[in-house]
Amino acid sequence: MDTAIDLSDASKALDLANIRFQLILADMFPLNPSIYKPGAVRIPDCDYSLLDWMIREQERFQSLVRRYQSPDEYPFFPDALQEPILQPIHYPQILHPNDVNINGKLKHHYAEHILPAACINYGREERGENQENFGSAATCDVNCLQALSRRIHFGKFVAEAKFQKETERFVDLIKREDRKGIDEAITNAAVEKKVLERLRLKAKTYGTDPSISAGEAEEAAKINVDAVVAMYKDYVIPLTKEVEVDYLMQRLKNTQWE
Amino acid sequence: MDTAIDLSDASKALDLANIRFQLILADMFPLNPSIYKPGAVRIPDCDYSLLDWMIREQERFQSLVRRYQSPDEYPFFPDALQEPILQPIHYPQILHPNDVNINGKLKHHYAEHILPAACINYGREERGENQENFGSAATCDVNCLQALSRRIHFGKFVAEAKFQKETERFVDLIKREDRKGIDEAITNAAVEKKVLERLRLKAKTYGTDPSISAGEAEEAAKINVDAVVAMYKDYVIPLTKEVEVDYLMQRLKNTQWE
């Protein structure tokens, strides 16, 4: 079932780098809690938070160029999507029909945990809000959330590949609705450890200016390596596995979702 | 006149990294010339190229959250801008009133030279168009062009700082409409050389996966260091200097541009 992995192509290899980079951009701003609170920033004829409004409008726009026809893109606001202006693309049907979408949970964790953790590391939470940054900060947040969402929902393809490889084992677990058993079956602790090690090495390399001396580099390290690794360990990996389990739980259903 | 430089704040320090990264993302796609040709991709009720249409719609959307009130952001389609939904911000008036905007020229160079050069380095120009990528490739192009535009128009602040420092010299050159003399006065070959050297070092570090051996790394280098350095040398630096000269040529005018 290598085709599931092939679908990702070259651009997928950059997903991890993209998430790291978008987070670096996003946490250059002071933490602006008003962006994430409905009503805290007044938007005409709208009760949404500024972030929600911006995600929604961005998704409405990008749906026009077929972003959400791609089987690895999932919207935060499915009701905002419009008919694409470009001709439809017929992707090979790799995934079983399903309605798994954990963007709501991702958005919650991002605003409540991931972003504050990244900002605290810079002492930026003490600088207070800066309403001049609201637009740019929220723009970075949207990019960051889209990159995270893509990465996390890619778990569906991983789950499908695992299902194809050990069909009998998974059919049994799914029939018994054994979510814990499925979670154990899809977990490879050694691989997870290796992913985190590689991530730490990359975050360290890319977060350091190579043109300055080692002593200065320590001080000038642009991103907090621990914060990036923690984000993966505590959120990206668990949410990806949640997508995998949710997907597999629907794997035997005949229901045709939209 | 250090305030001109201060305006940039932390996020500006990341401009160079951002441009590099956006270009890496953009050149992961095969070169799709249809994206840049008006009419080649049919858009309902519109004669624009797909790229132009996407820049315009993105600018229309981002103008709502005040992107173009910021004195270091310049639109490609000024006529598309809308009234912001957020309260206006009153930035300190650092620049002399001017109407310098070379985004048209930047866009031309990007589609004709910068992007093809980056893609050729991967042999991607031979892979032919892939209409499935049009939306994602153009989305990357928009991000790349916005990052380049911001960086290049930052030349206005650099020029203002230079004018403040050597006012008499520049007033004389401007009055004689000596563009060549202004260009020479703003040029510091040693600094340019140093910028390119630092850029080469960074492109090399960030374009190499630190978790693989040196031998493999050579082969696996993700970005072509020469292409990135050439883009800066041939386009980013010359266009920035053009902005500086254009700005200074308007520096003594009393006209209040909109």
Work out the number of other CB atoms within 10 angstroms of the CB of residue A157.
24
- Which of A135, A202, A211 shows the shortest C-beta gap to B66? A135
Q: Write down all domains in chain A, each with its CATH number in brackets.
A: 2-249 (1.10.590.10)
- Which residues are within 8 A (CB) of B27 and not within 5 positions of it... i.e. 6 or more apart? B115, B118, B119, B121, B122, B124
Residue A226: pLDDT band by 50, 70, 90 thresholds?
confident
Q: Do B67 and A28 touch (CB under 8 A)?
A: no
Work out the number of other CB atoms within 10 angstroms of the CB of residue B256.
6
Report yes or no: A64 and A88 within 8 Å, Cβ to Cβ.
no
Report yes or no: B157 and B95 within 8 Å, Cβ to Cβ.
yes
pLDDT digits (tens, 9 = 90+) for A122-149: 554 455 677 888 898 899 999 999 999 9
Distance CA A80, CA A56 (A): 6
pLDDT at A120: 61
3-state helix, strand and coil shares in percent for chain B, rounded to the nearest 5:
65, 0, 35
Distance CA A202, CA A233 (A): 15
> What is the average pLDDT score of chain A?
83
| pTM of the predicted protein model | 0.85
Give the percent of chain B with pLDDT over 70.
80
Distance CA A191, CA A187 (A): 9
pLDDT at A6: 40
pLDDT at B87: 87
Given a cut of 50, whether residue B6 has pLDDT beyond it is no
Choosing from B107, B150, B151, B251, the catalytic residue is B151
pLDDT at A221: 55
Tokens of A103: 């963007």
Query: Which residues of A sit within 8 Å Cβ distance of B?
Result: 10-11, 14, 17-18, 21, 24-25, 28-29, 41, 43-44, 50, 54, 57-58, 61-62, 64-67, 70, 85-87, 89, 131-132, 134-136, 138-139, 198, 201-202, 204-206, 209-211
CA-only gyration radius of chain A, Å: 20
